[in-house]
């Protein structure tokens, strides 16, 4: 059964969609079966996956509001070699329509039940706000991956996000945990970035990923070519960093399973 990981941060511009697209492609490159869900009405993850968000037949709207089965909504061919449930401006309407529905926080979780066995990983690109779409994502997820820049305002926002995640977890998903905190757009020459990075290490300890995503021109250019960085320039530092992140997520999962097995025996 797939592990469902939301990629969330209420602050925009922290590399959330870049992370969603590139970690999905990197996981798919390790021969894992991967589904990426674009819950952001901007539809940037859809475009970055090589899918025209204006022409796609079905999106998260049909999945959440019209009860179309997940396998009818999934786009099987993307430039990142993973499957996709697309997002576009229709998803904004979905947020409004959700307010009228019964068990509105659980719509995504219930919709994914039918396809969870078809994948190893399901990544959800959340909107840059804590709205009902994000609540749906967190209710459906096993864990949350939090990308953030090493700057003061991002650090301040992270505290609020962690607070919110804990409160939501207690209401809609008691099993939800923090998958990890990912440092993005990192420039080691920047003193503030290094200072914030050290604060994060002290505060989050093992929850911090060792992998750091650098500032990288190729990562920034890849979306305009509608493809993940590893298929735009596989030798770039950004591409290699996301492959390293995929490896780290896999190793962490294996370690957690081994510990659980040892504790049960």
pLDDT in tens, 138-168: 999 999 999 988 877 777 777 777 888 888 8
φ and ψ at 4, to 5 degrees?
-105, 120
Q: What is the mean pLDDT of the chain?
A: 92
Q: 6: pLDDT confidence band, cut at 50, 70 and 90?
A: very high
How far is 90 from 40, CA to CA, in rounded Å? 10
Cβ-based neighbours of 240, under 8 Å, separated by 6 or more: none
Show the tokens assigned to 25: 């492609």
How far is 1 from 121, CA to CA, in rounded Å? 8
How far, in Å, are 142, 184, 188, 234 from residue 214 at the CA level?
Answer: 27, 6, 8, 15
Q: What is the pLDDT of residue 204?
A: 83
Residue 47 buriedness (CB in 10 A; 0-12 / 13-18 / 19+): buried
pLDDT in tens, 52-61: 999 999 999 9
Comparing 104-108, 168-172, 221-225, the range with the smallest average pLDDT is: 168-172
How far is 242 from 240, CA to CA, in rounded Å? 6
Q: 11: pLDDT confidence band, cut at 50, 70 and 90?
A: confident
pLDDT in tens, 75-103: 999 999 999 999 999 999 998 999 999 88
CATH 3.40.50.300 corresponds to the domain 3-264: yes
* Between residues 116 and 260, the one the model is more confident about: 116
Domain locations along the chain: 3-264
| Dihedral, 84, 223, 127, 253 alpha carbons, nearest 10 | 60
| 37: alpha, beta or left? (left if phi > 0; alpha if psi -120 to 50) | beta
* pLDDT higher than 90, residue 130: no
Helices (H) and strands (E) in the chain, counts: 12, 7
* Between residues 131 and 120, the one the model is more confident about: 120
Q: What is the pLDDT of residue 149?
A: 86
pTM for this predicted structure: 0.95
In the block, tokens 């995504």 appear at 108
Cβ-based neighbours of 23, under 8 Å, separated by 6 or more: 7, 123, 145, 242, 245, 246, 249
| 219: alpha, beta or left? (left if phi > 0; alpha if psi -120 to 50) | alpha
């Amino acid at each position: 059964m797939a592990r469902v990981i939301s990629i969330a941060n209420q602050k925009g511009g922290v590399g959330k969609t870049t992370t969603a697209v590139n970690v999905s492609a990197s996981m798919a490159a390790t021969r894992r079966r991967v589904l990426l869900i674009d819950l952001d009405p901007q539809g940037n993850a859809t475009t970055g996956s090589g899918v025209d968000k204006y022409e796609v037949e079905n999106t998260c709207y049909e999945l959440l509001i019209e009860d179309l089965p997940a396998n009818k909504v999934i786009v099987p061919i993307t430039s990142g070699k993973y499957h996709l449930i697309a997002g576009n401006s229709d998803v904004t309407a979905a947020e409004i329509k959700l307010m009228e529905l019964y068990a509105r926080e659980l719509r995504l979780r219930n919709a994914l039940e039918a396809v969870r066995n078809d994948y190893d990983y399901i990544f959800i690109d959340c909107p840059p706000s804590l709205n009902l779409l994000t609540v749906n994502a967190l209710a459906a997820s096993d864990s949350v991956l939090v990308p953030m820049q090493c700057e003061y305002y991002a650090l301040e926002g992270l505290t609020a996000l962690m607070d919110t995640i804990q409160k939501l977890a207690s209401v809609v998903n008691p099993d939800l945990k923090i998958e990890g905190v990912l440092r993005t757009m990192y420039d080691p020459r920047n003193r503030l970035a290094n200072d914030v990075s050290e604060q994060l290490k002290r505060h989050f300890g093992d929850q911090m990923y060792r992998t750091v995503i650098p500032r990288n021109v190729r990562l920034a250019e890849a979306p305009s070519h509608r493809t993940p960085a590893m298929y735009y320039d596989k030798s770039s530092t950004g591409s290699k960093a996301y492959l390293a992140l995929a490896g780290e997520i896999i190793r962490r999962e294996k370690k957690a399973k081994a510990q659980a097995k040892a504790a049960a025996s």
